[in-house]
Amino acid sequence: MRILLIEDDYVLGEAIRDQVAADGHGVDWMQRLDEARAALDTVSYGLILLDLNLPDGRGLDLLKSLRKAGNPVPVIITTAQDQIAVRIEGLNAGADDYLIKPFDLDEMSARVAAVARRYAGISAPQLLVGEASVNLATKAVTIGGKPISVTAREWAVLERLLGRRGGIVTKSEIEDSLYPFGAEIDGNAVEVYVSRLRKKLGASIITTVRGLGYRIET
């Protein structure tokens, strides 16, 4: 999915960006609220990682404005403020989860995945897709008990399709979930990832809906 990271600390922001990218997601990193607002006007994000204290204002003000406008995008707050009152304010403003700095990057990845699953309405992390068993929590894929190796980008495509299981996901939506602003996109990248997934998990697992996109059946 495409993730918006709003963090003004360069060292931490770089570490988070690299972790999110390694998980197979597209990530846009903004260090100011005005930059973040401009990005939100352009892209439909799957999740926001939001710092509270930024050079040009409070992250909570952005969160409140999103919720007031009816934007349901999942938001995980990242902050060094561990006071209960601050956490309550954030949750009451519409945050989906909280990470207190310093936090473990693997824990962050797990929380991002968990919030994304809840948002997609997937209550159980274990899914059966054709003959493949897919664990959304551990990113493990098996067929007949045998582990199947899936790259981070292949996983990101699979996860994107599973998030709308039974519905059509367009090629551009998949591209948006994989690549940040300014990234050079290979025009055939999505087709390549889909082809690899079919070879690994079964030719019929992903249906091409000609002229529209791709679908994983229910």
Judgement on whether residues 115 and 16 belong to the same structural domain of the protein: yes
Judgement on whether residues 82 and 17 belong to the same structural domain of the protein: yes
We report the CATH number of the domain holding residue 108 as 3.40.50.2300
3-state secondary structure of 122: coil
Judgement on whether residues 19 and 96 belong to the same structural domain of the protein: yes
Backbone angles phi, psi at 107, to 5 degrees: -65, -40
Contacting residues for 203 by C-beta, under 8 A, at least 6 apart = none
Judgement on whether residues 40 and 130 belong to the same structural domain of the protein: no
Judgement on whether residues 96 and 157 belong to the same structural domain of the protein: no
Domain's final residue, options 120, 140, 172: 120
Model confidence pTM above 0.85: no
We report the CATH number of the domain holding residue 175 as 1.10.10.10
Judgement on whether residues 110 and 137 belong to the same structural domain of the protein: no
Q: What is the predicted pLDDT for the residue at 78? A: 93
Q: Report how far Cα 22 is from the mean position of its chain's Cα atoms.
A: 12
Backbone angles phi, psi at 71, to 5 degrees: -80, 115
Domain's final residue, options 72, 92, 120: 120
What's the structural domain count of the chain? Answer: 2
Judgement on whether residues 165 and 186 belong to the same structural domain of the protein: yes
Domain's final residue, options 120, 140, 169: 120
Q: What are the Cα distances from residue 21, in Å, to 2, 24, 196?
A: 10, 5, 20
Q: What is the predicted pLDDT for the residue at 123? A: 62
Which residue range forms the structural domain that includes residue 43? 2-120
C-alpha–C-alpha distance, residues 72 and 95, integer Å:
10
**CB half-sphere exposure, 15, CA atoms < 13 A:** 10
Q: Report how far Cα 6 is from the mean position of its chain's Cα atoms.
A: 14
Quick one: which of 174, 182, 6, 176 has its CA closest to 79? 6
Quick one: which of 129, 135, 132 has its CA closest to 217? 129
Judgement on whether residues 114 and 154 belong to the same structural domain of the protein: no
Judgement on whether residues 53 and 102 belong to the same structural domain of the protein: yes
Average pLDDT along the chain, 218 residues, taken 10 residues at a time: 95 96 92 96 93 94 94 93 87 93 94 87 76 86 91 89 88 84 78 93 90 85
Judgement on whether residues 52 and 91 belong to the same structural domain of the protein: yes
Judgement on whether residues 91 and 48 belong to the same structural domain of the protein: yes
Judgement on whether residues 116 and 154 belong to the same structural domain of the protein: no
Q: What is the predicted pLDDT for the residue at 101? A: 92
